[in-house]
Amino acid sequence: MVVGVHRPTKLVIDRQALRENIHTAVSRLAPGCELFMVVKANGYGHGAIQVAQAAKDAGATGFCVAILDEALELRAAGFNEPILVLGVGDPADAPLMAEKRISATVAAQDWLTEAHQYLALAHVTAPLQVHLGLDTGMGRIGFKTSSSLQTAVAYLNAHADLNFEGIFTHFSTADSSDDHYFKQQVATWKALTSKLTRLPRYVHVSNSATSLWHAECNDNMVRFGVAGYGLNPSGTEVAAPYTLHPAMRLVSELVHVKRVVAGESVGYGATYTAQQPEWVGTVPIGYADGYERRLQGFHVLIDGQPCEIIGRVCMDQLMVRLPREFARGTRVTLVGRDGDESISLQDVADYCGTIHYEIACGFTARLPRVYEN
């Protein structure tokens, strides 16, 4: 997708906010515990390479991604730190992962067996670094029984081209005020890992939420995700133990301003009709940029004032009701602060009935990312 550099709409990413969030998280870790920054999905929409550099500057010692291509992007950009692919990939890619020193998540014995066959055929000199994933209640991927886990560990120990580098699980309710299910998962994790005679270099269960509210579970590595971007993993359910600094703003400008009279309609389907003479402004952003169509009735900020989005959000444009006439080129804030008013990603998510993760990740490549600080 083309990047829209010739229009005034852009995402502004504050690198200092990223560094502060990550540095604070690192400072709270026990001695010997490392922080891997999660930069999957283009750094949760913030830009993977730029986030990775800010994280490295703030003390992160490695990175987590979702798919192999995201890891290769980091390697191509010159990052030599450990990189873990959290998703299950294709065993045929095992030689490439070994060559590039990219660690693989393994969730089943048949994957290991097939990967070993590909490694043998490729005659790769470096071993494949393996992190065994355990399903303790997330229900997504991972070994579920002690016997299957021990079989996998024995297989790793028996083959020199496979290195048992890590073991982990993922908690599904660490961001909840009700910790009943969380404690069940912790118990399952302990029961599975207690049967192992040797633990690998990296033992990790903590995502952002776990590191914030259950730091006693951190083991020796934390996968720090959404909190690094200044967003509370629980939304509004549980307060963060320290201040998180949102790193993303979304801004644009008015490209057209007009006066409408009572009875005139605005937008597709004529879903908004003026009841009196009004000033209407057009903003060059729409659902093709990831600004949701369902945001009709929400608001943006102009000159420090909330201005309602009227009519349906179009693919590339939206219209807002103005309190008075504004000049073309007047700044519009869709996410961020303007004067005494602010709109957070959480506010946008609440209006859409979703979570801020989805909003941030949904902003498309057509929106340029501009970096400050």
Element spanning 305, H or E: strand 305-310
| Backbone dihedral region for residue 244 (phi beyond 0: left; psi -120 to 50: alpha; all else: beta) | beta
Sheet holding 202-204: strands in order across? 202-204, 162-169, 128-134, 102-106, 83-85, 62-65, 34-38, 221-224
The closest of 16, 24, 84 to 53, measured between CA atoms, is 16
CB 321 within 8 A of CB 308: yes
Binding residues for substrate are: 140, 315
* DSSP category for residue 368: P
CA–CA distance, 72 with 196 (Å, rounded to integer) = 32
190 counts as catalytic = no
The closest of 213, 221, 214, 263 to 239, measured between CA atoms, is 213
SS (H, E, C) 109-177: HHHHHHHHHHHHHHCCCCCEEEEEEECCCCCCCCECCHHHHHHHHHHHHHCCCEEEEEEEECCCCCCCC
Q: b/e for 271-296, b at 16 or more Cβ within 10 A?
A: ebebeeebbbbbbbbbbebbbbeebb
* DSSP category for residue 235: T
Tell me the β-bridge partners of 163.
129
CA–CA distance, 69 with 248 (Å, rounded to integer) = 24
Asked whether the CA dihedral 73, 75, 81, 85 is positive or negative, the reply is: positive
CA distances from 185 to 179, 193, 248, 267 (A): 10, 12, 33, 50
CA–CA distance, 245 with 255 (Å, rounded to integer) = 30
The catalytic residue among 40, 229, 272, 357 is 40
Binding residues are: 140, 315
- DSSP structure string for 270-303: G-EE-SS-EEEEEES--GGGT--GGGTT-EEEET
268 counts as catalytic = yes
The catalytic residue among 144, 195, 268, 351 is 268
Catalytic residue annotation:
40, 268
